[in-house]
Structure 1
């Protein structure tokens, strides 16, 4: 029997770092998400930092946490002098998967990522309706991070993005660098206006959003296979 390769979020960050020369890394996660920080450190990012909220216990990997919050409020972390005003080449987001936390974490990650860098968002491809429950569930829970991600990228249509069909879906948002990139992305944005209007029509109805998502996830996410991505980025 052939052994299938399993590509995870750390592999995707590593591939982006090699292809685009991305050298610094920030991870935003909770005590019950992430779990790949040790692999990120092995990739050699400098600096390699993390912000953990809903931090109910020390991380099992034994590595330090640079910024921490016991609840969902990360304002003090963002205002820490070591983080405030700083940018990173890759900001990896594996949030508490409510809409509010996901939307905030993606927004703050994009603010902190360097021009030419990437925000990588985990759990953008929930496998079923149960996993996409907007409220916390023990076990397989992607929540509505997928909706916060789509809302963000379609709400900022001059951005370039795609989603890797691996490890529950890893969204990649590329921050434009230079005028030429911004113009190119603006022209692309004109072609997705109809899709944006279709998605906006579901509003805050999570059931309707999931129905639309399942019917049109390839277009909404710009879904790509990891093996194909790996060939293109070599």
Structure 2
């Protein structure tokens, strides 16, 4: 499936905001991920905020950072968000791509997103095994964010989700709103239990996970073509 790299993660957040009337935005990223916050800030979100960790230097875009941590510990940042009583219609996650950081960031993003809102997760379609290395390296590193994303959505089978085949893959998790949505998603969940059990059997074997990902990524990620998504949402 061809990757449409000229459509980026900011475009996807913009499409979701227009289609579903999503007006507030939080970005969770590091000093070496993200890089599209300036585009998000120009989309008119209010508030439009970001949480940056592993922040060894100021962001190159020169825009303010609302919640910041010098290392991978974001507990104080999360407490600050909660103390401010903030929830968001879109939470965009471009984490440090280890499994631990990715899983935590996705989990916390889902907690902070409003019912009816969306979590968007970057780097869910690593192009090759090298890019999917679980350990950091300089260069085209997607890490194992894809696995953390699949673990989360299959571990919560009542959720609706899909992955856009653009900009290294952007996973979208839609947070249910109301009892009708919960019933609808529960009925859908019954159809994914076998897939969930097969995926869980892999455990923490990242090589085996990538092998399964390569052969079954369309089902695992529910991949959609960006051009089709744009026609559907606009």
Q: TM-score, normalised by structure 1?
A: 0.97
Deviation at 1:85, TM superposition (A): 3.8
Structure 2 residue 60 is matched with structure 1 residue 64: no
Counterpart of 2:214 in structure 1 is 214
- Contact 1:202 1:209 (8 Å CA) reproduced: yes
1:64-143 paired onto structure 2 within 5 Å: 64-80=64-80, 85-143=85-143
Counterpart of 1:35 in structure 2 is 35
Distance 1:5 1:102, change over 3 A: closer
1:162-177 paired onto structure 2 within 5 Å: 162-177=162-177
Extract unaligned runs of 5+ from structure 2.
none
SS, match of residue 115 in structure 1: strand
Extract unaligned runs of 5+ from structure 1.
none
Counterpart of 2:52 in structure 1 is 52
The whole-number CA distance in structure 2 between the counterparts of 1:157 and 1:125 is 20
Deviation at 1:83, TM superposition (A): 5.4
Deviation at 1:81, TM superposition (A): 5.6
- Contact 1:31 1:54 (8 Å CA) reproduced: yes
The whole-number CA distance in structure 2 between the counterparts of 1:134 and 1:177 is 34
- Contact 1:162 1:171 (8 Å CA) reproduced: yes
- Taking only aligned residues, the RMSD between alpha carbons, in angstroms, comes to 1.1
Deviation at 1:223, TM superposition (A): 0.2
SS, match of residue 191 in structure 1: coil
SS, match of residue 55 in structure 1: coil
Distance 1:5 1:93, change over 3 A: closer
Counterpart of 1:190 in structure 2 is 190
Post-superposition, which runs of at least 4 consecutive aligned residues in structure 1 deviate over 2 A? Answer: 81-85
Distance 1:204 1:179, change over 3 A: same
The whole-number CA distance in structure 1 between the counterparts of 2:45 and 2:193 is 37
The whole-number CA distance in structure 2 between the counterparts of 1:131 and 1:36 is 20
Distance 1:104 1:84, change over 3 A: farther
Deviation at 1:84, TM superposition (A): 5.1
